[in-house]
Amino acid sequence: MAFEDLLEDPVIQKYLHELVGPKGMPVAAAPPDGEVTDEELAEELDLELNDVRRALFILYENDLASYRRLRDEDSGWLTYLWTFEYDNIPENLEEEMYRLHEALEDRREYERNHEFYLCEICSIRFEFGEAMDFGFECPECGSPLESMDNNRLVTAMDDRLDALEDELNIDADA
């Protein structure tokens, strides 16, 4: 996928937004060609320098940017020259999908293996042991706790896991 096409993709835009947040999105969405300093980006995008630095550091932590340091001979100050490396985005997204798959599998097992009770007034959910400790009464409002059927939640997790397995070519029976 071409570099420009990557930035047009709504999934990638959402991914970048989740990483850097709304203040960092202008930095992530308009990477310059070649090397650039954080000060140049802040001036060009009319952003606070700290917001630009935060976004650059997050991109760096996620292997989407790199830098090299130059020391000014006279002042001794360091200048960081940043390069954007968005070729790693598809691989990062795939890793995220695998992490999501694993987390969903764990949560599904938790939901299947526990019995839950709900306070319908406060919308607070309790595991069986907690509900028993509270005498099956809500500790917030005192109303009785009702047994909660979480089959719809488990089914929704199953559907999402199936979709992820299709996308990632995971054999669920393996």
Residue 93 has pLDDT above 80, yes or no: yes
Tell me the DSSP string of the chain.
Answer: --HHHHHH-HHHHHHHHHHHHHHHHHHHHSPPSS-EEHHHHHHHHT--HHHHHHHHHHHHHTTSEEEEEEE-TTT--EEEEEEE-GGGHHHHHHHHHHHHHHHHHHHHHHHHH--EEEETTTTEEEEHHHHHHTTTB-TTT-PBPEEE--HHHHHHHHHHHHHHHHHHT--TT-
pLDDT (0 to 100) of residue 11: 83
Please state the pTM of the whole predicted model.
0.68
pLDDT of residue 4: 64
Q: pLDDT at position 67, please?
A: 95
User: Higher confidence at residue 133 or residue 87?
Assistant: 133
Distances (CA, A) of 141 to 56, 117, 131, 136, 155: 47, 15, 14, 12, 31
pLDDT band, residue 100 (cuts 50/70/90): very high
Query: Quick check: 62 and 52 in contact, CB under 8 A?
Result: no
d(CA 28, CA 89): 12
Strand arrangement of the beta sheet that strand 146-148 belongs to: 124-127, 116-119, 146-148
**Contact criterion met (CB below 8 Å) for 38 and 82:** yes
Residue 1 has pLDDT above 50, yes or no: no
* Stretch 137-142: mean pLDDT: 95
Q: Domains in the chain and their CATH numbers? A: 1-84 (1.10.10.10), 90-168 (no CATH)
Q: How far is residue 110's CA from residue 46's CA, in Å, rounded to a whole number?
A: 47
